[in-house]
Amino acid sequence: MIRQILHVDLDAFFVSVEQALRPSLKGKPVIVGGNPPRGVVASASYEARAQGVRAGMPLSRAHRLCPQAISLQVDFPRYRQVSEKFMNILADFSPYIEPVGLDEAYLDVTGSGSATEIASILKSRIKSELALTATVGIACCKVVAKIASGLAKPDGLLEVKPGKERGFLAPLLVARLPGVGKKTGQILRGMGVVTIGQLAALPLPLLRHTFGISGETLYRYANGIDQSEVEPPSPAKSISRETTFAEDTLDFSLLEAMLGCLSERVGDELRCQNRRARCITLKLKYADFKEITRSHILKVACQADQVIFEIGLGLLEKALAKSHKPVRLIGIKVSNLVGEEPQLSMLDSATEKLEKLDHVIDHIRRRYGYSLIQRGRTLSFNRLLPKWR
């Protein structure tokens, strides 16, 4: 049976969420990003993109290209909330759903009727319930559906009919293929290959010889062949959050407050996933770009912000005692993740209490916003980085 796969991707996701909240921002060049001056663009409205602004670009460069752009700080908890609603809408259309990040998913709707009809109903529900626009690509496999949605953006709907995959892909640049980054693109250019059609015409043994196993994937993708199923991704092996400071710092209270904030975000994600961690790793990048990581293994897996923070803080104190170089970036990672249930009874009662408190705080924050409740350890942020919220 020929499959019907939808690739759904929200347009300018972070920016669109902000615009849905503040309609006066609609139709304007808007950028959502990290802290200036070192932050990068996470999402840019199509008006800002028209002036050359792209995701991943330093904010300073984005503002040079588009001086009138309105810059907003990222608000992950809010985007996560919207993402959950988006995924819930998708789940009404098929049990076979594969989320990719927050704003993107594959859906297998084989045998459920007209895929284009499903796609347009889905788009209008997203518009009416979330005030967002989505672009949908439809094809008989994931890779072609994804390329189709990429071409149809924004607010588009593009179907590649069965049998038309190769013709559809042929004129497109190879960079449209997942897995073709700068390096692969360069090698292909050296081989005289610019379009997907030219790539599809290369003999498989040559691609295997040049790119090893990924040469086979390239060959299949270029020919519109992708047998992979739509399935939920296997759970991540670790969760991490990190931040680069606007200026390199040795200010301990700032490092401590930032660590507190990052620990809460890691803890929140652990609890969202109903998982616990046994390994906590601190990451520091110094002003000279040298990077270190220091880890600690817990006896019992946990998900309490306080435990993550305290372990991280101990690692930070040790690292700073050894090196007095200013810090450029700080990050915290939890790994050796386990499911929640088997561990519960092993927690001591103090940790159990902390975790219960975290769940209550998570609940309040999801309802009323992240900054309604703030722990003492991040209070110094308000003084040091008045705009962090």
**Residue where the block lists tokens 């518009």:** 127
If the CB atoms of residues 13 and 219 are measured against Mg ion, the closer one turns out to be 13
CB of 216 to ligand TTP, least distance (A): 26
DSSP-derived pairing of the beta strands 275-286 and 157-159: unpaired
The gap from C-alpha 269 to its chain's centroid, in whole angstroms, comes to: 13
Nearer to Mg ion, 16 or 281 (CB): 16
Q: Does 55 bind ligand TTP (CB under 6 A)?
A: yes
Options 8, 12, 304, 313; binder of ligand TTP; rule CB under 6 A: 12
Q: Which two tokens stand for residue 129?
A: 């319930």
The CA-atom distances, in angstroms, between 19 and each of 12, 24, 32, 45, 175 are 10, 7, 11, 10, 30
Q: Which stretch binds ligand TTP (CB under 6 A): 5-13, 248-256, 301-309, 325-333?
A: 5-13
Contacts of 239 (CB under 8 A, 6+ apart): 266, 269, 270, 273, 277, 333, 334, 335, 337
Q: HSE-up of 255 (CA within 13 Å, CB side)? A: 24
Stretch that binds ligand TTP, among 8-16, 257-265, 266-274, 372-380 (CB under 6 A): 8-16
Find the binder of ligand TTP among 5, 10, 141, 148 (CB under 6 A). 10
Catalytic residue (one of 18, 98, 104, 264): 104
Contact (CB, 8 A) for 142 and 8: no
Q: Is 284 left (phi over 0), alpha (psi -120 to 50) or beta?
A: beta
- DSSP bridge partners of 107: 6, 97
Q: Which of residues 122-151 bind ligand TTP (CB under 6 A)?
A: none
For ligand TTP, the closer of residues 31 and 330 by Cβ is 31
Residue (127 or 161) nearer to ligand TTP, CB? 127
**Residue 11 interacts with ligand TTP (CB under 6 A)?**
yes
Q: Give residues with Cβ within 8 angstroms of 354, minimum separation 6.
A: 304, 305, 306, 307
Task: List Cα–Cα distances, 148 to 158, 326, 350, in angstroms.
Answer: 6, 46, 53
Q: Is 117 an annotated catalytic residue?
A: no
Instruction: Check residue 154 for interaction with ligand TTP (CB under 6 A).
Output: yes
By CB under 6 A, the residues from 88 to 107 that bind ligand TTP are: 103-104
Specify the residue, 12 or 266, whose C-beta has the smaller distance to ligand TTP. Answer: 12
Q: By CB under 5 A, is residue 13 in contact with Mg ion?
A: yes
Partner whose footprint covers residue 107, from Mg ion, ligand TTP, none (CB < 5 to 8 Å by kind): none
Judged by CB under 5 A, the stretch of 48-56, 100-108, 203-211, 372-380 that binds Mg ion is: 100-108
Q: Omega before 37 cis (within 30°)?
A: yes
Q: Hey, which residues are catalytic here?
A: 104
**Site of interaction with Mg ion (CB under 5 A):** 9-10, 13, 103
Contacting positions for ligand TTP (CB under 6 A)? 9-14, 42-43, 55-56, 103-104, 153-154
